Amino acid sequence: MDINVLIGGAAGQGMETISSILERILHRKGYFIFSNKDYMSRIRGGHNFNQVRISSKKLYSHKDSVDVILALNRETIEIHGDRLVTGGKIICDNKLGISNEDIISLPMEDIAGEMGDRRASGIVALGALLKIFTLDKSYLHEVLKMYFSGDILEINIKAAEKGYELSQSFMKLKAPEFIEKLPRILINGNESIALGVLAAGCSFYSAYPMTPSTSIMNYLAAKQRDTGILVEQAEDEIAAINMALGASYAGVRAMTGTSGGGFSLMVEGLSLAGMIETPVVIVDSQRPGPATGFPTRTEQGDLSFILTAGHGEFPRVVIAVKNPEDAFYQTARAFNLADKYQIPVIILTDQYLADYTQSTEAYDFSKIKIERYLSTQEDLPDGEYMRYKISESGISTRIIPGKIPGQVVLVDSDEHNERGNITESGQVRTAMVNKRMNKISFIEEETIEPELVGSSGRVVLVGWGSMYGPIKEAVELLNLEEYDLEALIFGDLWPLPKKMLYKLAAEDKVFINIEQNYTGQLAKLIRQETSITCKKNLLKYDGRMLGCDEIYHWLKREVLHSV
């Protein structure tokens, strides 16, 4: 059982609320949910839509075909009507004057008016939707209470019940399978990153609002009193990264977040982190560029930029999170890596992953270990403390300024000697560059190989980050048809893990690259680092995410017949 519902209308018509209520009701009934949103940057006007995919088994991606369309305006039918499957249904207001066998036309606005508020017309449709799926009304009142109160709550309860009464059952959702590993949660990527921030013991988050990263800051700001984290809305991204560096220098775990345009402003601060060897975690939630681009759409266009951003050479770690669960655990890991190697760690996500909601197992906070790697008096050698003492690993002892009596911590953005004093010695400069870059070989030992999904065959798909779900589902669909595909989905991107790539290349595999940008940035990185070339690329950069259906059909049409 796999049902896809599309809820569409103009901005301000309540698609987000209707979608969220439906998700929560079905989640509480035990179904697996995958929902994604498509919205414009305009406050009013423009076509927006949400998709809610429902199954008795875990879902990893959205799909293109639609079983039910809840149309809050005529435009929704005009844009999405051709995506309706045979036997699918469209729910709309009878005032649209559309009539055919696919249409369930209800007096939604009139009923809402009778109840006391015409804005409740979408909730009338929600009630009808429950009946169409042959679902009872359990959890309906409970979930509505999360969104409304007082007289408005009563109006919406009556509106939903009236819509339920007027509709008929056309589809029957298969009962959810019993899953031993309960409880499950319903969560999106940005909420998961924020939870990872809190689990890692981060005490300071500074950012300037920039879609699609802003909801990380909003979530953390709402939890300040409960968790003790300090959230600062900076005046711009330059201030945000420098505030985070100042907080980290003072001894607390610190983070900043932005999108590609904001990250562009942060690169001088990124270089500063590299020079003063101060740990910081940065999240870049990607959207289409250059410049303002598409503020509310998705893309994977920042990878090449992130790998070399900042002037000069210094070590960094780049991690692309693959789904909400991965986002939680990898965010916490990022802080440990930043502290251990005293480097910037950059987390890459994007609008699709930031905003989509998925049913997943509840996160296990006991798996998170906070490793600060801060030194105490006992760890220090006799004599004067040297912040940049040269070592084989490139890692120097790090203490919190003012915490150890008699010890002074010197940092400087100029090249410096072991103590931290400015130097213009070429010999010292060479030693310090070597010290910093020596960390890379040790970091490489901690990189995580890409996840291998599917069954062994000649064709290997490669992708990264949020492509995990669509690629995984496409591989599963094709393997059911006995094509024998497998895929490597990268999380760690820099330093690039190479063992699996070399192993599969030695087996004479054909590599096919799939990502959301114009130039095939992962394929270029793989070729640069390993000389392995991808035979073909499936690239999309129109601002909307590649779905499992698109990948499935493209592979059958362009790849599988020729290998």
Amino acid at 163: G
Do 152 and 193 reside in the same domain of the chain?
Answer: no
CATH number reported for the structural domain that contains residue 483 in this entry: 3.40.50.920
Question: For 216-219, which contacts have Cβ atoms below 8 Å and span 24 or more sequence positions?
Answer: 216/190, 216/257, 216/283, 216/285, 217/257, 219/190, 219/191, 219/194
Give me the number of domains the chain comprises: 3
339, part of any domain: yes
Contact 459, 563 (CB under 8 A): yes
- Does residue 212 have a cis bond before it (omega within 30 degrees)? yes
pLDDT in tens, 239-296: 999 999 999 999 999 999 999 999 999 999 999 999 999 999 999 999 999 999 999 9
The two three-digit tokens of residue 140, written as one number: 């309906």
Query: Closest Cα to residue 324, out of 279, 367, 301, 357?
Result: 357
Contact 297, 351 (CB under 8 A): yes
Do 189 and 159 reside in the same domain of the chain?
Answer: no
Report how far residue 315's alpha carbon sits from residue 337's, in angstroms, rounded to the nearest whole number. Answer: 12
pLDDT in tens, the chain (563 residues): 789 999 999 887 888 999 999 999 999 998 999 999 998 876 666 899 999 999 988 999 999 999 999 999 999 999 999 999 998 999 999 988 888 888 999 999 999 999 888 889 999 999 999 998 888 888 999 999 999 999 999 999 999 999 999 888 777 777 666 555 557 899 999 999 999 999 999 999 999 999 999 999 999 999 999 999 999 999 999 999 999 999 999 999 999 999 999 999 999 999 999 999 999 999 999 999 999 999 999 999 999 999 999 999 999 999 999 999 999 999 999 999 999 999 999 999 999 999 999 999 999 999 999 999 999 888 888 888 999 999 999 999 999 999 998 899 999 999 999 999 999 999 999 999 999 999 999 999 999 999 999 988 899 999 999 999 999 999 999 999 989 999 999 999 999 999 999 999 999 999 999 999 999 999 999 999 999 999 999 999 999 999 999 999 999 999 987 76
393, part of any domain: no
Do 145 and 230 reside in the same domain of the chain?
Answer: no
Q: At which residue do the structure tokens 């601060």 appear?
A: 269
Q: What is the pLDDT of residue 43?
A: 63
171, part of any domain: no
Q: At which residue do the structure tokens 């309860």 appear?
A: 157
Do 147 and 21 reside in the same domain of the chain?
Answer: yes
CB burial of residue 510 (10 Å; 0-12, 13-18, 19+): middle
Q: Which residues contact 189 (CB under 8 A, 6 or more apart)?
A: 321, 323, 324, 327, 349, 353, 354, 355, 356, 466
CB burial of residue 260 (10 Å; 0-12, 13-18, 19+): buried
Do 195 and 302 reside in the same domain of the chain?
Answer: yes
Query: Closest Cα to residue 125, out of 266, 5, 217, 247?
Result: 5
Q: What is the reported pTM?
A: 0.95
The two three-digit tokens of residue 103, written as one number: 């249409």
CATH number reported for the structural domain that contains residue 79 in this entry: 3.40.920.10
Q: At which residue do the structure tokens 């950012």 appear?
A: 207
Report how far residue 285's alpha carbon sits from residue 261's, in angstroms, rounded to the nearest whole number. Answer: 10
Do 23 and 161 reside in the same domain of the chain?
Answer: yes
Last residue of a domain, one of 301, 336, 367: 367
Q: What is the pLDDT of residue 178?
A: 56
Do 106 and 19 reside in the same domain of the chain?
Answer: yes
Report how far residue 19's alpha carbon sits from residue 129's, in angstroms, rounded to the nearest whole number. Answer: 11
Last residue of a domain, one of 348, 367, 386: 367
Tell me the three state secondary structure of residue 172. Answer: coil
Q: What is the pLDDT of residue 175?
A: 67
Report how far residue 277's alpha carbon sits from residue 274's, in angstroms, rounded to the nearest whole number. Answer: 5
CB burial of residue 238 (10 Å; 0-12, 13-18, 19+): middle
396, part of any domain: no
Contact 67, 171 (CB under 8 A): yes
Do 189 and 332 reside in the same domain of the chain?
Answer: yes
Amino acid at 271: S
Q: What is the pLDDT of residue 380?
A: 87
Query: Closest Cα to residue 200, out of 369, 399, 373?
Result: 369
Domain housing 116: 2-166
147, part of any domain: yes
Query: Closest Cα to residue 85, out of 549, 413, 492?
Result: 549
Do 240 and 276 reside in the same domain of the chain?
Answer: yes
Do 226 and 135 reside in the same domain of the chain?
Answer: no
Q: What is the pLDDT of residue 395?
A: 97
Do 26 and 95 reside in the same domain of the chain?
Answer: yes
Do 321 and 352 reside in the same domain of the chain?
Answer: yes
Burial profile 437-453: b = 16 or more Cβ within 10 angstroms, e = fewer: ebbbeebeeebeebeeb
Contact 457, 427 (CB under 8 A): no
The two three-digit tokens of residue 280, written as one number: 């910081």
284, part of any domain: yes
CATH number reported for the structural domain that contains residue 340 in this entry: 3.40.50.970
319, part of any domain: yes
Contact 267, 255 (CB under 8 A): no
- Quote the Cα angle for 65-68-74, to 5°: 100
143, part of any domain: yes
Contact 459, 538 (CB under 8 A): no
